[in-house]
Structure 1
């Protein structure tokens, strides 16, 4: 069970009112998220908006997770879904990626700044609050 379930502490205000700073959630690793799910995704390097190391997310059951920084976000779009921006209607969430948004748009670092997140950077879906 230890490899499949991970406890994560919520930091920051981006998921208010759903989750508050200090809330702890139990994450099921290896669960492919769907629209509406709350997920934990690896935070990219702030300067380059990219990742420096191989993924510790989906499909990487043995990778250590304690050395990484994680974000809690809601899946707002799956591959093929329209991208909710003022751009062309042909803009879609690319294959292998997710549109991830914080519930508190005013204070969230998410797909609005980052663009689509690779699915393999998702640790798993939030199963329940602890």
Structure 2
């Protein structure tokens, strides 16, 4: 009987550790891997980055130029089940690689008017100084985009090779899963 108590104690300790790690990675801090080249030269493919989940947990708005992790499925609401499924540890256990989670840079916040002309991004009528982009952007549009309340507009640093808000539209704040720490 003594070995049963010992085994139970070990199992309880392991289960507690797994639950604590899962809660930390859902609500506080999570490693993730950069997939693709849309954030070059700032982030390279397959680089591991660490993100703070606090912006998602407390639903606060990121700042201009923050690098954020987003759920690109902006056409549907997010649920707690999504938070579990998008968790780093779940992806390791399942072997899944989700192509709906993107790493991008914040370009526009609620109320901003964005334009794309002269191979540059204009925010509220002024060109944005973007020393972090890979090369001159080869994109123009006559459309003026007004970022709605509780949304942000994101773009990759490799503007000519990036799926971003130009394709999916502004991203709801609750689809911002975290902010890059280091």
Task: Give the TM interval when normalised to the shorter protein.
Answer: 0.7 to 0.9
Residue 114 of structure 1 deviates from its aligned partner by 1.1
Residue 43 of structure 1 deviates from its aligned partner by 2.4
- Specify the alignment match of 1:34 in structure 2: 63
8 Å contact kept, 1:78–1:98: yes
- Which consecutive aligned stretches of 4+ in structure 1 deviate over 6 angstroms post-superposition? none
Q: Normalization by structure 1: what TM-score?
A: 0.79
CA RMSD in angstroms, aligned pairs only: 2.2
- Specify the alignment match of 1:108 in structure 2: 162
8 Å contact kept, 1:55–1:121: no
Extract unaligned runs of 5+ from structure 2. Answer: 1-23, 92-97, 117-141
Relative to total residues, which structure has the larger helix share, 1 or 2?
A: 2
Q: Normalization by structure 2: what TM-score?
A: 0.58
Whether 2:46 is the aligned partner of 1:22: answer: yes
2:83 to 43, 57, 63: 63
1:93-112 Cα offsets, whole Å, 9 max, x none, are 10011010000011100011
Residue 55 of structure 1 deviates from its aligned partner by 4.0
Residue 115 of structure 1 deviates from its aligned partner by 1.1
8 Å contact kept, 2:53–2:177: yes
Higher Cα Rg: structure 1 or 2?
A: 2
Residue 121 of structure 1 deviates from its aligned partner by 0.3
Extract unaligned runs of 5+ from structure 1. Answer: none
1:20-69 Cα offsets, whole Å, 9 max, x none, are 1111111101223111100000122xxxx623x6345xxx9x93123653
Q: How many residues align?
A: 117
